Amino acid sequence: MANTYTQIHIHFVFAVKYRNATIHKNWKEELYKYISGIIKNNNYKLLAINGVEDHIHVLIGIRPAQSISELMKIVKQNSSKWINENKFAKTHFEWQEGYGAFSYSKSQIKAVVNYIENQELHHKKKTFKDEYLNFLEKFEIDYDEKFIFKDLI
C-alpha cells in the first residue's frame, strides 16, 4: 500500500526436537545458509542467524503483510527435509513444535545481532532452557512450561 512505512524486527528462537544436540559443527554453516536462502527467497530481510547444537536464533525484518507463522512453517519444514535428505543427522531430524518470536525496535538491533552472533560463548554460561524462559519473562509472555519443553518419554 502506498505511503505505508514500517520497521518491524522479529527475533525467532526455535529448537531441535527434545532439545537434542543434533546440529553438528561440520554442517551447521550449510544449514544457516540454507535457512538464509529460504528467508530471502520469501522476501524477508535476514539480519542475523546463529545458534548452537540444540537451537537456532534468527533476526529478520518483516513487512506488515508478511506472516511470521508462515515463515516459521516454511523454514522448519524445508530445513528438516533438507537435513534428512542430506543425511546430516545420525537419526531422523525434527524441529521442536512451536517457536519464540520477539519484537525489537531499530535502536535494539545492534545488541540483538551481537547477542545472536555470540551464541557459542553465551551458552557456556547458560542453558537453552534458562535462556528461553528468560526471554519469556523479559517480554512478559504468559506460559505453561509443560507446553514449552517436550522431553523424551
pLDDT digits (tens, 9 = 90+) for 92-116: 999 999 999 999 999 999 999 999 9
- pLDDT tier at 1, thresholds 50, 70, 90: low
pLDDT at 149: 67
Q: What mean pLDDT do residues 121-143 have?
A: 89
Q: Would 147 be classed as within a structural domain?
A: no
Alpha-carbon distance 119 to 116, whole Å?
6
Alpha-carbon distance 145 to 143, whole Å?
6
Alpha-carbon distance 133 to 111, whole Å?
19
For the cut 60, the answer to whether the pLDDT of residue 153 exceeds it is no
Q: Would 49 be classed as within a structural domain?
A: yes
> How far are the Cα atoms of 9, 45, 92, 104, 130 from residue 29, in angstroms, in the given order?
23, 19, 19, 25, 25
The residue ranking higher by pLDDT, 133 or 56, is: 56
C-alpha cell at 105: 525496535
pLDDT at 144: 83
Q: Would 24 be classed as within a structural domain?
A: yes
Q: Would 2 be classed as within a structural domain?
A: no
Q: CB–CB of 61/9 below 8 Å?
A: yes
Q: Would 151 be classed as within a structural domain?
A: no
The count of domains in the chain is: 1
Q: Would 34 be classed as within a structural domain?
A: yes
CATH assignment at residue 116: 3.30.70.1290
- pLDDT tier at 152, thresholds 50, 70, 90: low
Instruction: Tell me which residue range forms the domain holding 44.
Output: 8-138
The percentage of residues in the chain with a pLDDT greater than 90, rounded to a whole number, is 76
Q: Would 44 be classed as within a structural domain?
A: yes
C-alpha cell at 124: 557456556
pLDDT at 33: 98
Q: What mean pLDDT do residues 120-136 have?
A: 88
Name 45's bridge partners. Answer: 61
Q: Would 95 be classed as within a structural domain?
A: yes
